[in-house]
Amino acid sequence: MNRISESIVFKSIFGIVLVLIVFTGIICAIGYNGVTDALLEQYSSDAFQTAHIAAAKVDGDRMEAYEKSEGKTEEYNKVIDALDVLCNESGSMFIYVIQPDLKDYGHITFLFSTMNKDSEYTRFDFGYVRETTNDDYKMKYDWLYTGEREEALVVRDLGYIETDPHITAMVPIKDSAGKTQAILCVQKQMDVLAASRTNFIENVLGALILFALFIVICQGIFLYTVLFRPIRTIKNEAERFARENVKSARKLTESITSVDEVGKLADSIDQMEEQITEYVEDLKNVTAENERIATELSVATSIQVGMLPSEFPALPEKEGVEIFASMVPAREVGGDFYDFFYVDDDHLCLVIADVSGKGVPAALYMMSSMILIKSNAKMGKSPAKILEDVNNSLCTHNDEMFVTVWVGILDIRTGVMMAANGGHEYPVITGADGRFELLKDKHGFVLGGMENMKYTEYEIQMTPGSKIFVYTDGVPEATDAKEAMYGTDRLLAAMNEEPDASPEKIINNIKESVDKFVDNAEQFDDITMLCVEYKADNNNSYEQ
């Protein structure tokens, strides 16, 4: 039953039936009123005709004699016999003559009263006085006595009625001077009118029901042929394609040839199947290619991670330094890198760099830069010379990319660090009060941007417990959902919460601070940090 009620044909036929029901109701209402008015007009015309005939049988000049007869004189009986015959021949229920109280028409007196022989009611006796039924009668009595009207009709089919629904046609009985002496009334029951009206309604309803059935059958056949069967074919094909995901060997438009909306829908389904089939094939190829690229990226990530020191503590504590570093790439592979290694027994080289760009090209440039820096440092060159020679090497075969680099070489015996900056972020060092502060060193030009650039070295004297922190721009430029940047002020605040903490703890504090700031915002740049703490040797192996 639910499936039937959900079908388009059922809904369409139901809608048509509903419209026909409303239409039938309107027609019946209009017909009912129209037939009622027509039948009432005909009915009242017959009643008035009977009333005028009856009024001619009553002599208006003899009203006083009729009143005095008390209904027993031969003249009186002759008149009432004539009215009685007319009442039965005309099919009237009552014919009677009355005299209203002319003061207020509040009651009437019966002079003549006849009744149809088939009636179940009782006629009124001569001289019977009765209160006027309602104001409608009073108004019309007044019309007839004042000469305002020559006829008056009362229709009683609502409310309390003693003799069932009826109409009463009234005409004045006048004397030879033209003065109204009494009123003659003809009452006809409305049962005949009601029967005629009911018969009309039944006929109209029967015709409309037959018409509705004809429309429903024709419309059902039409909808099934033109709409339901093609749509069911389209539905079945759509379900098959969704289940099998294979284009049909026979197109829908070969079986549905109409050029209407259903035909266009079938053509759209055919095109959709072709496009989805092609898309799935392309998707398979793209997926295979993406899997290959993902595999290669995974290998590249492993290679990149393998090139960076990742096990901590990285150097034995007796060597006088504690180091911790981390890198979080924005993509599978990044362009940032850090490194630390011994140039000789007493000198530790520290490096942090940031390659322009992201992804695989930046990672390749990063590895090339990292190898060049390490090779030049191993030759015993100063930080400035390292940057100068690496810059020239990178400029030889590079037109687009560059790298910012900070290099420091720490003499672990004396705590003296020589450093040079190639366009990189300012380092953070421990100040005289033990708190972290920016060291605004002199920047040289980025590496790979222009040949034969010169770089300036500077010296940092580290003491036991002092630290140096270097980082890439992914830290201060980390942004939240409102595109506000983290900045160096927040960086210093996070570091100075525990300035005496270990390098690992300091970097973890910064990570937590950055993560809390950016919340769920996407990371757009690599985030790389390196922190070194210089420590006094417990065995006094090194000069302080």
In this prediction, the residues of the chain whose per-residue pLDDT falls under 70 are 1-14, 20, 23-24, 27-36, 38, 158-163, 192-197, 227, 249, 287-288, 290-307, 310, 312-319, 331-334, 398-399, 536-544
Distance CA 158, CA 462 (A): 116
pLDDT tens profile 150-179: 999 998 876 556 667 888 999 999 999 999
Report the amino acid identity of residue 391: N
- Tell me how crowded residue 530 is: count the other CB atoms within 10 A of its CB: 26
In the chain, what is the greatest distance between 2 CA atoms, to the nearest angstrom?
Answer: 167
| Global pTM value | 0.50
CB count in 10 Å sphere of residue 519: 9
pLDDT in tens, 307-336: 677 676 666 555 689 999 998 887 656 678
Sheet holding 467-471, edge to edge: 321-328, 527-534, 467-471, 428-430, 436-438
Q: Burial, 104: exposed, middle or buried (Cβ in 10 Å; 0-12, 13-18, 19+)?
A: exposed
